[in-house]
Amino acid sequence: MDITTKLKMNNGKEIHQFGLGVWRGGAETKNAVLAALKAGYRHIDTAAVYGNEEQVGEAIRESGIPRDALFITTKVWNEDMRKHTVKAAFELSLKKLGLDYVDLYLIHWPVKDEYIHTYKVLESLYESGKAKAIGVSNFKTHHLQDLLDHTDIVPAVNQMEFNPQMQDNDILKMCTEKGILLEAWSPLGSGACLNDENLKTIGGSHGKSEAQVIIRWLLQKGIVVFPKSVHENRIIENADVFDFTLNDEEMALINGMNKNLRTGPDPDTFNF
């Protein structure tokens, strides 16, 4: 396993298992993406609502890395689902990114009464070739079952909050059974999972930080992970996770840290 390791999605295409998240990257997004690409990252996770697609696009162009060596994800925001402007939102994302296709396009949140018709638009974007894969985010098991019952293309991924203190193993099991890759958002709990004694001890025995232990734990679980940082030293640190292995005991210890404690909103009660 290394920084370019890819997993096969259910449509036969591949996704880099490790990448960079850019939520709240602010004005530093472009430099963060450039630093990540320099460090060997090839997968960037953004979203229309992050307001930084242009910066991601600028960094891609400036890096000179061929488009087909990169994996770029963006997401449709709730307001466009409610206004039924999903196709226009997708075109705008492409324009801001300066790309003629994205590797993955996701429904950001399961907006009640809106996600089925939205997903049907995503299916048409997939068929047009402008979204090489489509999927969802923040779909609990009941959202996912409803989607599977009413649409044709099984999502390639489901992006959920997943970290040591928030492990939704029901959705992980369902995704595995349906051939849907789980992507972990806020893998570090936006920082809240760090400074833990168990993680510190495990890290100590491998010469690694708590952040590196969490990232490695997710990779070994077969989950896609894109920690966020805008600092070059941390961007490099977070990718330095391919020269050690957590043993079964260490994996079990972290699996046992679940508190069902979200840092973000619950997909059943969010109201934005």
In order, the DSSP letters of 42-79 are: -EEE--GGGT-HHHHHHHHHHHT--GGG-EEEEEE-HH
105 binds ligand NAD (CB under 6 A): no
Closest distance between ligand NAD and the C-beta of residue 67, in Å?
Answer: 20
* Residue number, nearest CB to ligand NAD: 21
The 25-64 site mask, x for binding ligand NAD (CB under 6 A), equals --------------------x-------------------
Helix (H) or strand (E) holding 249: helix 248-255
Closest distance between ligand NAD and the C-beta of residue 92, in Å?
Answer: 19
175 binds ligand NAD (CB under 6 A): no
264 binds ligand NAD (CB under 6 A): yes
Residue pair 25/52 in contact by the 8 Å Cβ criterion: yes
Among 188, 213, 246, 254, binds ligand NAD (CB under 6 A): 188
Is 50 marked active-site? yes
Binding residues for ligand NAD, rule CB under 6 A, total 26
Among 55, 138, 151, 167, binds ligand NAD (CB under 6 A): 138
Our CB check for ligand NAD shows the closer of 127 and 142 to be 142
Cα separation of 44 and 199, whole Å? 26
Among 78, 118, 151, 186, binds ligand NAD (CB under 6 A): 186
Task: Write the Ramachandran bin of 106: left for phi over 0, alpha for psi from -120 to 50, otherwise beta.
Answer: beta
Residue pair 263/186 in contact by the 8 Å Cβ criterion: yes
168 binds ligand NAD (CB under 6 A): no
In order, the DSSP letters of 168-222 are: -HHHHHHHHHHT-EEEEESTTGGGTT-S-HHHHHHHHHHT--HHHHHHHHHHHTT
Residue type, 58: E
267 binds ligand NAD (CB under 6 A): no
Rule CB under 6 A: which residues touch ligand NAD?
A: 21-23, 45, 108, 137-138, 159, 185-191, 194, 209, 211, 226-229, 234, 237-238, 264
Q: Which residues are catalytic?
A: 50
